[in-house]
């Protein structure tokens, strides 16, 4: 099965999105197809043995829409196609308004002029034939596929107004002989197209801003790279790069691949990934990421991940998939959209019949004119766009805003569910603490002369271990060691420590029971253990030479994160596999009252299960493989970006820069996004509930108010634009 996100072109409303979705889903070999109107994308999962992308593209084009399936530069092609569409729409809109303004003036104050109907027809035709041609083309293609959309409503209403007016203009005496007064509605046809086109243009402009976060991420990836070859340096397209290629990155340039520095030394600005404003020093052996900026000297990098395998490309892909996903609340709008257009056409027919009968019976004027006017108004004012945009537009903006804040949300379901969280369970190491232990204190039981040799031996031993405590000791003593010595023999004892032999002398580093069995009680050891530090013993021939206090550093924003979560009414728990003393020390420092220490992966999962049984909606935050069970069990799973890949694969949300403060931000953003969705849906429903009866003329018998099709089209255009603008508020908060 192949998963991909493909750009869809020429959709005009959410009903179009539904048409594309149903067309693709009906194809053999397609497992899943989700179309998002706001992002204009198709999230697709298909079996390449049964169907190809070209066949899917042909089916979509037959339904009257476009699909970009080329694997190279899809976003570039989408951008080019959207730009052509935008420029063409702007050109047609200018022509429409140049004709619409005199059309509106003459229809209001020039009806007494000779040949006025012919003049109005001449002004209307350019609007219908040129400016509004896409409405009719799409409506015809959809009719052939037995589907409909907003284009169907616009095409029906304007063609009805135009053709009836044309019949009245060409054969006025015939209609008079039948007792029908020949009213013309050229201004209705022209202004409907002009106002709808204006609304679509404003909507298009606003939507361009909603994808700015994703475009910003995509633009971080350079399109060319300076490849180091035997013949010298050569500028190549990044699509041609392979793993193992060597890339030269000059000062001021962006890194094009994920890789390892093989020569050179520089400072790299990694703020786009980590959020840290201070550039990180990079030298031989250090890893660099695509999209980061070289601030210093020239670096030569060996590519380890290229193209779609880089971390930046994965982030872009996940944001695209998330923006294209559907929230549960959108199902309501989807169900309504499927039957919306046929229902509106039916209401327009019923409106025409009622007005025709009642008009001829109770009105002194021509009932047919009222019947035609109200039927056209009903067709025009109904707006599936606002309903269809209500959820996806807010989701798109919300997920894009989260990406800018280094919060990667996997799908819309996670964004919607996160607002219901009332319990947050936090892992300690790597979540509240940095996950990189450091030496806090040391006590030596030897002379200064012996100390120098012991430090050399200790560093030489710890060089061979990847244990976090070994790394902490190695980092601390690195500057004091001139020439490390290779041990004659070295052995790691799981759960105990490490031992090595130098010239028949045995050195041990680890737990007390492993390094020294007769170590006398030391008051400093008791104090360190009370403060939650890990105590490491260093012995030579079973005689303790030193003891070290090792502790993990608490993240700077940990305590403010807990305070913010509590302000939002969320209960906070901490689970850790560490000792009770270490857990209590961190909990007191950050302000957590509820802790559970010495937990195994199964214990964490069971704890979350008990909270859920009490009716809580639980978010689990972790970074390690040992957290993956609990992450999978939680209602919302949040992984720290600098943790294990397994944790990030399981998690619904990833904090890219591992800053715990983003946890409270993510929940706050979810609450705001859901609030905007509800506002959008409310106003979209209210608009149609109120406007359609008014368009049908229910107020006419009460107060003589009858809505003109021209103003109905303006109201319809405004409803779509208002939903987009309301969603964009998420970017400003």
E strands, 454-566, are 489-493, 497-502, 505-510, 534-540, 543-551
For the chain, what is the radius of gyration of the CA atoms? 34
* Backbone phi, psi, residue 540, to 5°: -125, 120
Measured CA to CA, the distance from residue 576 to residue 596 in angstroms comes to 6
Q: What dihedral do alpha carbons 291, 293, 294, 300 form, nearest 10°?
A: 0
Number of C-beta neighbours around residue 557 at 10 A? 17
Instruction: Identify the CA nearest to 648 among candidates 638, 657, 658.
Output: 638
Strands 636-640 and 618-622: parallel
CB 206 within 8 A of CB 725: yes
Measured CA to CA, the distance from residue 645 to residue 165 in angstroms comes to 67
Supply the angle between the helices 116-126 and 150-170 in degrees, to the nearest 10: 150
Measured CA to CA, the distance from residue 155 to residue 569 in angstroms comes to 52
Measured CA to CA, the distance from residue 363 to residue 444 in angstroms comes to 108
Using CA atoms, how far residue 541 sits from 459, 501, 507, in Å, is 17, 10, 6
Number of C-beta neighbours around residue 627 at 10 A? 32
Strands across the sheet containing 497-502: 438-444, 543-551, 534-540, 505-510, 497-502, 489-493
CB 236 within 8 A of CB 268: no
Distance of CA 222 to the CA centre of its chain: 21
Q: What is the distance in angstroms between the CA of the first residue and the CA of the last residue of the chain?
A: 40
* Backbone phi, psi, residue 532, to 5°: 90, 10
Question: Which of these is catalytic: 134, 366, 411, 427?
Answer: 427
Supply the angle between the helices 580-590 and 558-567 in degrees, to the nearest 10: 70
Judge whether 427 counts as a catalytic residue.
yes
Structure tokens at 702: 């009460």
Strands across the sheet containing 287-288: 232-237, 224-229, 246-249, 299-305, 258-263, 287-288
For the chain, how many residues are written?
733
CB 688 within 8 A of CB 387: yes
CB 244 within 8 A of CB 302: yes
Please, which residues bridge with residue 236 across strands?
Answer: 225
231, burial (CB in 10 Å: exposed 0-12, middle 13-18, buried 19+): exposed
By annotation, the residues acting in catalysis are: 427
């Amino acid at each position: 099965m192949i998963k991909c996100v493909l750009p869809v072109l020429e959709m005009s409303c959410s009903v179009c999105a539904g048409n594309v979705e149903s067309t693709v889903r009906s194809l053999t070999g397609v497992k899943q197809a989700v179309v998002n109107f706001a992002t204009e994308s198709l999230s697709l999962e298909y079996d390449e043995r049964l169907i190809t992308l070209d066949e899917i593209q042909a089916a979509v084009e037959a339904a009257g829409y476009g699909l970009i399936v080329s694997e190279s530069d899809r976003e570039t092609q989408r951008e080019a196609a959207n730009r052509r569409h935008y420029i063409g729409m702007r050109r047609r809109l200018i022509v429409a308004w140049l004709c619409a303004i005199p059309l509106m003036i003459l229809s209001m104050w020039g009806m007494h002029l000779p040949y006025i109907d012919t003049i109005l027809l001449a002004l209307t035709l350019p609007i219908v034939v040129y400016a509004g041609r896409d409405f009719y083309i799409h409506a015809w293609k959809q009719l052939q596929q037995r589907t409909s959309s907003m284009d169907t409503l616009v095409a029906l209403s304007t063609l009805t107004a135009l053709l009836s007016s044309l019949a009245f203009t060409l054969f006025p005496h015939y209609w008079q002989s039948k007792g029908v007064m020949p009213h013309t509605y050229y201004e209705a046809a022209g202004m409907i197209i002009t106002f709808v086109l204006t609304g679509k243009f404003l909507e298009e402009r606003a939507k361009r801003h909603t994808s700015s976060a994703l475009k910003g991420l995509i633009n971080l990836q350079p399109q060319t790279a300076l490849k180091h070859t035997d013949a010298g340096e050569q500028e190549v397209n990044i699509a041609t790069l392979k793993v193992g290629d060597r890339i030269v990155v000059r000062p001021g340039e962006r890194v094009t691949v994920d890789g390892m520095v093989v020569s050179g030394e520089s400072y790299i600005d990694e703020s786009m990934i980590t959020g840290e404003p201070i550039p990180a020093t990079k030298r031989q052996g250090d890893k660099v990421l695509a999209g980061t900026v070289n601030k210093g000297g020239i670096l030569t990098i060996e590519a380890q991940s290229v193209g779609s395998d880089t971390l930046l490309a994965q982030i872009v892909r996940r944001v695209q998939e998330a923006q294209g996903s559907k929230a549960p609340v959108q199902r309501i709008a989807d169900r309504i959209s499927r039957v919306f257009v046929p229902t509106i056409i039916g209401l327009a027919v019923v409106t025409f019949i009622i007005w025709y009968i009642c008009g001829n019976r109770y009105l002194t004027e021509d009932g047919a004119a009222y019947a035609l006017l109200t039927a056209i108004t009903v067709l025009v004012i109904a707006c599936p766009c606002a309903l269809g945009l209500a959820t996806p537009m807010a989701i798109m903006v919300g997920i894009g805003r989260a990406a800018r804040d280094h919060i990667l949300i996997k799908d819309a379901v996670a964004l919607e569910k996160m607002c219901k969280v009332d319990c947050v369970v936090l892992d300690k190491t790597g979540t509240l603490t940095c996950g990189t232990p450091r030496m806090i204190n040391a006590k030596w039981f030897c002379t200064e002369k012996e100390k120098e040799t012991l430090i050399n031996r200790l560093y030489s031993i710890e060089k061979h271990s990847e244990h976090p405590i070994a790394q902490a000791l190695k980092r601390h003593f690195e500057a004091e060691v001139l020439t490390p010595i290779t041990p004659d023999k070295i052995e790691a004892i799981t759960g105990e420590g490490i031992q090595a032999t130098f010239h028949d002398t045995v050195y041990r580093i680890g737990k007390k029971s492993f390094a020294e069995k007769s170590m006398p009680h030391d008051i400093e050891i008791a104090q360190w253990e009370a403060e939650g530090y890990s105590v490491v013993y260093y012995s030579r021939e079973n005689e303790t030479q030193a003891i070290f206090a090792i502790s993990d550093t608490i993240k700077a924003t940990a305590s403010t994160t807990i305070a913010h979560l509590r302000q939002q009414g969320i209960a906070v728990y901490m689970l850790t596999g560490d000792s009770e003393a270490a857990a209590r020390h961190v909990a007191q420092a950050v302000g957590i009252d509820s802790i559970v220490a010495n937990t195994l992966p199964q214990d964490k999962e069971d704890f979350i299960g008990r909270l859920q049984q009490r009716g809580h909606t639980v978010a689990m935050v972790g970074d390690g493989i040992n957290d993956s069970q609990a992450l999978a069990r939680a209602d919302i799973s949040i992984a720290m970006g600098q943790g294990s890949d397994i944790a990030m694969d399981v998690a619904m949300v990833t904090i890219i820069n591992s800053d715990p403060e983003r946890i409270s931000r993510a929940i706050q953003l979810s609450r705001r996004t859901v609030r905007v969705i509800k506002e959008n849906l409310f106003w979209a429903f209210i608009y149609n509930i109120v406007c359609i009866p008014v368009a049908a003329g229910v107020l006419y018998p009460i107060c003589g108010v009858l809505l003109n099709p021209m103003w109905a089209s303006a109201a319809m255009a405004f409803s779509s634009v208002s939903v987009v603008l309301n969603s964009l508020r998420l970017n400003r908060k």
